[in-house]
Structure 1
Amino acid sequence: MLVKTLHRLFKDESGATAIEYGLIAALVSVAAIGALTAMGGSLDTMFQAVSTALDTATGGGV
């Protein structure tokens, strides 16, 4: 009886697609976090430059 149950469980593929999509989503999330972390410093520098340029163009801020 235990062997039949284990055999049936190993042959059952329902839910495999959902697990695969979950793994793909997790991989994409990790890649996005890694990319944003790697580019974080350069993005901060760019936004600081834009902020300075806007402050200069508008006469010094608020």
Structure 2
Amino acid sequence: MTAFNFIKKFARDEDGATAIEYGLFAALIAAVIVGSVKLLGTTVNTGFETVLTALGVTL
């Protein structure tokens, strides 16, 4: 295989680009999950603290 044919084949190969796209999607999904858990965790913690205060329970 000549160098020119190798370069043409390499330029047409899209496996690396597909892997990078999947990696970016996974990173985006992970970021959304982390943000959601952080937001919901704070909200849930506030709710539990409100209930504990209403019941007069101290930790």
Which TM-score tier does this pair reach, normalised by the shorter chain? 0.5 to 0.7
- Deviation of the 1:17 alpha carbon: 3.9
- Deviation of the 1:29 alpha carbon: 0.6
Quote the Cα distance in structure 1 between the aligned partners of 2:49 and 2:35: 22
1:20 aligns to what?
21
Q: Percent identity?
A: 36
TM-score between both structures, scaled by the size of structure 1 = 0.53
Gaps of 5+ in 2: none
- With over 3 angstroms needed to count, the CA separation of the structure-2 counterparts of 1:60 and 1:48, relative to structure 1, is closer
Gaps of 5+ in 1: none
Quote the Cα distance in structure 2 between the aligned partners of 1:20 and 1:33: 20
- Structure 1 stretches of 4+ with a deviation exceeding 6 A read none
TM-score between both structures, scaled by the size of structure 2 = 0.54
User: Within the alignment, does 1:43 sit opposite 2:39 as a pair?
Assistant: no
Quote the Cα distance in structure 2 between the aligned partners of 1:3 and 1:47: 67
Equivalent pairs counted in the alignment come to 56
